[in-house]
Structure 1
Amino acid sequence: MNTAQSAVVTGATGGIGEAIARRLAATGRSVVLVGRDAARLSAVLRRIRDVVPDADLRAELADLSLLRQVRALADRLDPTGIDIVISNAAVVAPLADHTSEGIQRTVATNHLAPYLLLRSLGESLAATGRSARLVVVGASPAALRRLPVNLDDPGLADEARIGVPPSFRPFVAYGRTKNMNAMFVYSLARRLAGSGVTVNGAHPGIIRNTGLGRESARGLLRAFAWTQWVNPLLPGPEAGADTPVWLATSPEPDGVTGRFFVRRREVRTAPHTTDPARLDRLWDISAALTGLPA
């Protein structure tokens, strides 16, 4: 494996994650694809090699909803051989769906997993003095302005306080975790400033064929969601991969950190995602939940 230039991509077994991994492989980098299903990982390796025959690929099996597996993944990855990490994995799970570790699955997968993995790798990379780019795939800042994270209930234990019909609650919860992603980007970037490790967020756009939330949608929301998943007018995963890959590989954002991008342009996220006191509180909550020092 070429340790000089290697990338890690989570949620790489389909959709945007697969497109990101394929484009990175086409640059000649070694690419580590992280997924939770061995059969799907084998299939995506074959698909990428069909397009990039000389691709240097490695599969890493990990269920990112389980923090013990995220820790084990971080331990297996050699930070001295990594210059890119793209956190793309995300789910929309019913609010009652909790992992065997007792954490609501959407929160565990969408926020705590990237917090634990990227913080661990980012701090290790900073300690080695290597330059690296960490990218978190988020969601539309405009759409999320009205979904501030409830820091009194980060684990989404109180469904009634979400304040929408039950069938819509999983998607509101998803939106809150995407705001957590933006808050994490700013917090980690501040802590790694000056180290050579940059941290940025990216909205991939509204993309068809991602399958996100297909199992969780109910009622009218399910009908709406299906129109998004199959809508031929929406761009496909390749378009969704563009901004994350640009952030990870292009010279233009070199040295840029703690920013959020849409269509390769920096945008501002909601004030509730940038308030220093809120950022520090979420950081401390996340550290406690993942077992890391605050």
Structure 2
Amino acid sequence: MRAVIATAAGGPEVLSVHEVPDVEPGPGEVAIAVVATAVNRADLLQRQGFYPPPPGASEVIGLECSGTIAAVGEGVEQWSVGDEVCALLAGGGYASRVVVPAGQVMPVPDGVDLVTAAALPEVAATVWSNVFMVAGLKPHEGFLVHGGAGGIGTFAIQLASALGARVFTTGGTAEKLAFCASLGADVTINYRDEDFVEAVKAATGGGGVDVILDNMGAKYLQRNVEALATEGRLVIIGMQGGIKAELDISVLLRKRGAVIATSLRSRAADQKAAICASLVELVWPLVAEGLVRPIVHGTMPLDDVVAAHELMESGEHTGKIVLTV
């Protein structure tokens, strides 16, 4: 099979496609003949040597894929060879074949083609598990997602809007913020020109938002807490802005707020299976109805993986970057 191998930790240039031995499913697993995968921010971190895969996971980069079932392991009854699927992976997606626990495999939503489906599993699982299963966002609550034009942001805006929340987002250009508004963002904030805390307070009469999904980490910690409403919930899923920060605990206490840090990749297989089952039951119907859709900036062949990583690092994309295998 073909797979992208990083020859060392470093820039995009360390990535190249090689022939490697085929992988075969064990008990409770399936093998997928990969049609497409997608680039995620975590892939860049892994390439740089900062985000190793969990124990037992493939060293090949790639957290999601779409394709057809190529083989099923012992005890797998819900999938058959030839089924078209998408899957949430702990690794291995940048390849022509991948093995994954059967519970992390999902049908392709109605109305979504097989290539585009590769852009769904990671963002859908991240947004659904953190914003709704962990933070418990409710209809009519205020929700802020940073970086609304990215893969996570475009999905979060649509899903929160479809389920009745008032959506706030940040972005760096007028064009990206206009696109976020077209997806359902009620309040858009240019972080280059505005203090997002002041913008949130102005739009809420000083009350703040109920849930914040944050990929910045340390850089935004104190300001995120200041932007929370009473009993607000801050969910941190990334560290693009650093790993260490000071926090005025008195502000958090006055708000009776919660700061939650989560990681999807390192969760146990049964937890990931529960998230995937919830997606199929509660989110896939919204995708099928067209209320939520995967936003794909563009597709590139797997052999152009270096250019795909360069595009992701530039920040000039909107939505997901898909690699076809």
TM-score normalized by the length of structure 2: 0.35
Comparing both structures, which one devotes a greater share of its residues to helix? Answer: 1
**Greater strand share, structure number:** 2
Please, what TM-score do these two structures have when normalized by structure 1? 0.38
- Report which of the two structures shows the higher radius of gyration computed on alpha carbons: 2
